[in-house]
Every structure is written in C-alpha cells, then in structure tokens.
Amino acid sequence: MPIRDFLRACPLFLTLALLLLSLRTESIAGAAEPTEPATNSTAPPTTLLRRILVEFGGDYGDEGDYGVEGDPSPGGGASLQTPPPLPCDYSPCRDGQVPCDELKRESPCLCPGVTSTSAAPEPPSFWEVSQQDPAAIRVHWCAPASEVDRYQISYYGRKTAGGGKGDGSDKPRTVEFGNRVRAAVLDGLEPGLTYHICVRAVNKVNSGSADSGASSACSDYELRPPNRLYLYAGLAGGAVVLLVAALSVLAFLRCRANRRASRDAMGLANPSYSRGSVDMLSS
C-alpha cells in the first residue's frame, strides 16, 4: 500500500504526526527567536488545534466568531456626534442689539435668514410710538430681515392728519442712527400737531438714492397738548397750600404775642405794701 493511500486511510495517525511536528517546530522557534512584547490585536490566537482543523477543513465555530480583523462588532459603542448649534441670542426689536454676524463669530450659533447684500433692505416695522412728554415722541422699531448699515428717521408736524407738509408749522427734519439702535426720542416738538414719522433702513445699495418708500415704514402720531383741567387743578392745589401755610404762620405769631403779653402783666406782689400806708405817708 503506498504511503499516500495509508495516510488517507488513517487520519488519526496523520493528526498525531502533525501534532508532534508542530510541537517540535514551536519549541525550536521559541528557543531561537527573542520574545516580542504583546500587542493589542483583535485577531484570534493561532492554536495548534485551529491549525489542524483549518488544514483539514474542520469547523472552529465553537471557539468564537471573530469576524474580519479590524471590523467593529455590530454591538459596538456609538460614535460621538457634535450637537447642532443653537439659535443666536438675537432679537430684531432689542435696542442696542449686537449684529448676529458678530455673535456668530464669538460662538457658533444660528442666525436668522436675511436678504442678499446686493439688494436694498426691507422696511423696518414699528414696535411702539408713544408720547415721552408734552414736546417729545419716543419711536421704537424692529430691524428687517436684511443687511442694514444705519437707520434714518424723517419727521415733520402738520395741523391735520390728512394735510401735507405745507400746512404745518414744523419743518421736516432727518436724524440718523447706527445699525444697533432700535429706539429714539424726537424732542423739541410742538404740542397739538400730528407728526408724520418715517423710519428707513439704509445699506450700500440704497444709501445714495432718494427714499422711494420701499425701505421705509411710516406712521402718524398726534402730539397732544397738556390737559388744561390738570393744569387748573395743579394751580388751585398750589394756591391752597400757600394759603394754609400763610394762615399757619399768622396763627403762630399771634400765639407768641399773646404769651409775651401775659408774662408782662404778671408781677411779684410786695407784702409791705398796702393802700392805708400810702395815704398816711401822703398826709
């Protein structure tokens, strides 16, 4: 019988022969080569049993499913993800508001959408128009969703709400503010007039053009004169206070004079003095 046929007929003998050969080879290699430091490897160890099973087509699933070297297991930890940025602390109606682009440069955040820098800004919106005092109006507005370099406020007074510039006694005036300003006080006004107020947003596109109204928001506000009833009541109250004060001073002076007169009328009595003794001395 040839040796090849004998080995095929006796697999146990072949297994034992390979086992002895492997032990001898590993002992010689271990004595000849220096020991290398262990490394962190996820590859499975190559044992003698595994080598025999692989060479003979055996199943080594009982020793564990190692998969492909270097591939993460399906149940591995999830990778860390950066959370999305939050909206910037920006309010279009806040007076003194820092532009959103500057806030974004300081810390990552999301800014609201704005129109293109190559387009004229949209008109602002009025937040509140109120009377500050008898000769002043406070205007508070909100910024548009556009790139704005500055704001212009134009205003003039007129006698009637439907009249034009010519029927009022107040001349048109214009004031400018920076892009962070959202509120302004217009003073030096004349009570009793209705003021036409326009707030205009300006950038590089419309800075040199006349105001066509596309970037302006306008409103009318009547500056009421002080109520005469309150004026009369104040004058009457002041007069009453002065009268009470004057009467109080007079009463105090009169009381003081009466006390002094009563002290002068009272004297010390002389015990040796009598009416008869005086008559005897005179005779």
Could you identify the residue written with the tokens 């409103």?
219
In degrees and rounded to multiples of 5, residue 261 shows phi and psi of -65, -40
Identity (one letter) of the amino acid at 175? V
Residues pairing with 195 in the sheet: 157, 221
Convert the pLDDT of each residue in 226-275 to its tens digit. 776 566 678 888 888 988 988 888 888 888 777 777 766 665 555 555 55
Which of 135, 232, 227 is closest to 189 using CA atoms? Answer: 135
Name the average pLDDT for the chain: 75
218 is written with which tokens? 């306008």
More confident residue, 50 or 265: 265
pTM, 2 dp: 0.52
Helix (H) or strand (E) segment spanning residue 20: helix 11-32
- Residue 54 above 70 pLDDT? no
Convert the pLDDT of each residue in 180-189 to its tens digit. 999 999 999 9
pLDDT value at residue 178: 96
* Residue 215 contacts residue 123 (beta carbons within 8 Å): yes
DSSP label of 16: H
CATH 2.60.40.10 positions along the chain are 116-222
- Residue 157 above 80 pLDDT? yes
Order the strands of the 136-142 sheet from edge to edge: 125-133, 136-142, 183-186
Could you identify the residue written with the tokens 């109250």?
237
Residues pairing with 159 in the sheet: none
Reduced to 3 DSSP states, what percent helix, strand and coil does the chain have, rounded to the nearest 5? 35, 20, 45
More confident residue, 115 or 210: 115
pLDDT value at residue 251: 86
Does the domain made of 116-222 have the CATH classification 2.60.40.10?
A: yes
* Longest Cα separation, the chain: 201
User: Other C-beta atoms within 10 Å of 198: how many?
Assistant: 19
More confident residue, 84 or 275: 84
More confident residue, 131 or 252: 131
Residue 136 pLDDT class (50, 70, 90 cuts): very high
- Residue 36 above 90 pLDDT? no
| β-strand pairing of 136-142 with 183-186 | antiparallel
What number is the average pLDDT over the span 206-225?
Answer: 82
Residues of the chain with pLDDT > 70, as a percent, come to 58
Q: How far apart are CA 193 and CA 237, in angstroms?
A: 30
